[in-house]
Amino acid sequence: MAKTASKQINKAKIKPLRFDTDWQYDPAPESAAAAQIEPEYGLFINGKWQKPDSGQYFDTINPANEKTLSRIAVANEKDVDRAVRAARNAHEKVWKKMAPAERGKYIFRIARIIQEKARELAIIETLDGGKPIRESRDFDVPTAAQHFFYYAGWADKLNYAFPQKKLNPLGVAGQIIPWNFPLLMAAWKIAPALATGNTVVLKPAETTSLTALKLASILQEADLPPGVVNIITGAGATGAALVEHPDVNKIAFTGSTSVGKIIQRSIAGTNKRSTLELGGKAANIVFEDAPLDQAVEGVVNGIFFNQGHVCCAGSRLYLQESIAKEFIRKLKDRISTLIVGDPMDKNTDIGAINSKEQLNTILRYIQIGKKEGAAIHQPACSLPKKGFWCPPTLFTDVAQSNRITQEEIFGPVLAILTFRTDDEVIEKANNTPYGLSAGVWTDKGSRIFNMTRRLRAGVVWANTFNKFDAAAPFGGYKESGFGREGGLHGLSPYLEINS
């Protein structure tokens, strides 16, 4: 009797529920009204908002609907010079003379105000850059505050970090940041510079300047002495003018490898110090003994987090041959449940691509992948009409020499390859011009140690991916740049250290 019943159930062919057609979350939108965005922003120089000498402004848009959010000033060479002079003056007259514990108090205050304004900052970040509100709220803004807290703590303890050494700040730091983690990158750059007694001229990326400008008003509220941090906006020419200014002592840059090379050439032969954090093409390596479901989550997080606009994104997946088929099936199932769309909705997993230019770059690479003969898989999902969107994209049948394996795409596109042995995957994983990060998924501790020792990458995650902490150093090998940010290591690039 029981046997017949179970046979009948089997025969009934239970159709699995499909997320996209059978059930959906109700919308859960965050409110744009909770953030104050001015219709126009000047330059933040010497503690005040100033009109640009250029007289020029440009629009910043919301990439999810292409609507203009605000007008932003273009800083020309004269504006850059004004900002550098303000920073120099503040360094000589105020900041370097101030007791380190007092400097620390200002940095703590900035951290606390960021926490108080966390919701507003998250909303502005999402509106201006297109990343899901869940990420700005749960990752970008709290991690930015954490960096200020962390480095505030170091301000009066530098002699413990570098015992028996004579320490001096470098002076004025010129800092240029990209559009993928706008507020967080500003925090990575500003917090260690201030803690070590330097003053700053910061230039945010042209598509995502709004949270840096909001940070300027936070610095005012924290009563930071005028000129200690100056925030100037504009595109590549503004960045180049800052790099070339003769009175800048240090350049800290995060962005593309090509601009990193331009900066290197431009400061060659000068006394300027530099740290460059550039592109990446991280390998996420899954062994047959790994917890597969957990690894699927890690791989999804590694490449689809922030639309793949992550220098350390796990954009290459190496699967051990014996589990490749099963893993790819699980991965396809998982990505069919990802929600692509309105970044302001708290359920959204994949938001808008940051700009039309970046979308075109990604689409060009998808065409290249197809032409190279790789098999493409994209789940069925309906994309909004306006704005810039790209569904999660998997490529299988990929060769190590393919451009989609070698070059940074900076979008939600994953190249999947296979391997048999540890030696083979080390060889393949290290075989790109980059070396920023990598991931290893295995049950064996000894294998983790073997891999982390031999992978040429600044960060190697084991059984996790894209985990950050203010206390952990971050930075690359090879064309991914040099110098470390974060942690104790992040202090020395801003100090002159003598015995």
Binding site for ligand NAI (CB under 6 A): 176-180, 203, 205-206, 235-236, 239-240, 243, 254-256, 259, 262-263, 277-279, 311, 358, 361, 408, 410
> How many CB atoms lie under 10 A from the CB of residue 221?
13
Q: Could you tell me the smallest distance in angstroms from the CB atom of residue 263 to ligand NAI?
A: 6
Residue 196 interacts with Mg ion (CB under 5 A)? no
| CB closer to ligand NAI, 165 vs 403 | 403
Closer by beta carbon to ligand NAI, 379 or else 476: 476
- Considering the complex, what minimum distance in angstroms separates the CB of residue 209 from ligand NAI? 9
Taking the complex as a whole, how short is the minimal distance between the CB of residue 362 and Mg ion, in angstroms? 17
Instruction: In angstroms, give the least distance from the CB of 60 to Mg ion.
Output: 4
Q: Write down the H helix ranges in 196-314.
A: 210-221, 236-244, 257-267, 292-304
H helix and E strand count, the chain: 18, 22
| Total number of residues that touch Mg ion (CB under 5 A) | 3
Candidates 125, 311, 479, 485; catalytic one: 311
Among 79, 125, 128, 140, binds Mg ion (CB under 5 A): 128
Q: What DSSP designation does 432 have?
A: S
CB of 207 to Mg ion, least distance (A): 4
Neighbouring residues of 473: CB distance < 8 A, sequence distance ≥ 6? 458, 484, 485, 486, 487, 488, 489, 490
Please identify, using beta-carbon distances, which residue of 69 and 278 lies nearer to ligand NAI.
Answer: 278
Query: Encoding tokens for residue 135?
Result: 């990420």
Which residue's Cβ lies closest to ligand NAI? 239
Of 460, 459, 465, the closest CA to residue 486 belongs to 459
Residue 113 main-chain phi, psi, to 5 deg: -70, -35
Q: Which does 249 bind (CB under 5 to 8 A by kind): ligand NAI, Mg ion, none?
A: none
Distance, in Å, from the CA atom of 239 to the CA atom of 232, rounded to the nearest integer, reads 9
Q: How far is the CB of 220 from ligand NAI (least distance, A)?
A: 23
> Where does this chain touch Mg ion (CB under 5 A) — which range of 203-211, 234-242, 288-296, 451-459?
203-211
CB of 298 to ligand NAI, least distance (A): 20
Q: Which does 104 bind (CB under 5 to 8 A by kind): Mg ion, ligand NAI, none?
A: none
How buried is residue 58: exposed, middle or buried, by Cβ count under 10 Å (0-12/13-18/19+)?
Answer: middle
Sequence-separated (6 or more) residues with CB below 8 Å from residue 298? 284, 314, 439, 441, 463, 464, 465
Q: Write phi, then psi, for 428 (nearest 5 degrees).
A: -70, -45
128 binds, among Mg ion, ligand NAI, none (CB under 5 to 8 A by kind): Mg ion
CA-CA distance, 271 to 269, in Å (whole number)? Answer: 7
Distance from C-alpha of 166 to C-alpha of 88, rounded to nearest angstrom: 22
Catalytic member of 30, 125, 135, 277: 277
Query: Which region, judged by CB under 5 A, interacts with Mg ion, from 47-55, 125-133, 243-251, 330-338?
Result: 125-133
Is 175 in contact with 189 (CB distance < 8 Å)? yes
Per rule CB under 5 A, is residue 60 in the interface with Mg ion?
yes
125 binds Mg ion (CB under 5 A): no
Q: Chain-centre distance of CA 257, in angstroms?
A: 15
CA atoms of 452 and 440, how far apart (whole Å): 8
Neighbours of 200 (CB within 10 A): 26
Which of ligand NAI, Mg ion, none sits in contact with 239, Cβ below 5 to 8 A by type? Answer: ligand NAI
> How far is 114 from 202, CA to CA, in rounded Å?
18
- Can you read off the two tokens belonging to residue 241? 């003018």
Is-catalytic flag, 326? no
**What minimum distance in Å lies between the beta carbon of 165 and ligand NAI?**
31
User: Rounded to whole angstroms, what are the CA distances from 402 to 93, 103, 370, 405, 478?
Assistant: 55, 50, 11, 5, 20
Q: Which stretch binds Mg ion (CB under 5 A): 124-132, 279-287, 319-327, 374-382?
A: 124-132
**For helices 182-195 and 118-129, angle between their N-to-C axes, nearest 10 degrees:** 130
Q: Which is nearer to ligand NAI, 132 or 234 (CB)?
A: 234
Closest CB to Mg ion among 196 and 208? Answer: 208
Q: Which is nearer to ligand NAI, 259 or 324 (by Cβ)?
A: 259
Closest to ligand NAI by CB, 263 vs 285, is 263
By a kind-dependent CB cut-off of 5 to 8 A, residue 314 interacts, out of Mg ion, ligand NAI, none, with none
Please identify which residue in 207, 301, 393, 480 interacts with Mg ion, judged by CB under 5 A: 207
Q: Is 342 in the site for Mg ion (CB under 5 A)?
A: no
Nearer to ligand NAI, 149 or 179 (CB): 179
Active site residue 277: yes
Residues that bind Mg ion (CB under 5 A): 60, 128, 207
- Which active-site residues does the annotation give? 277, 311
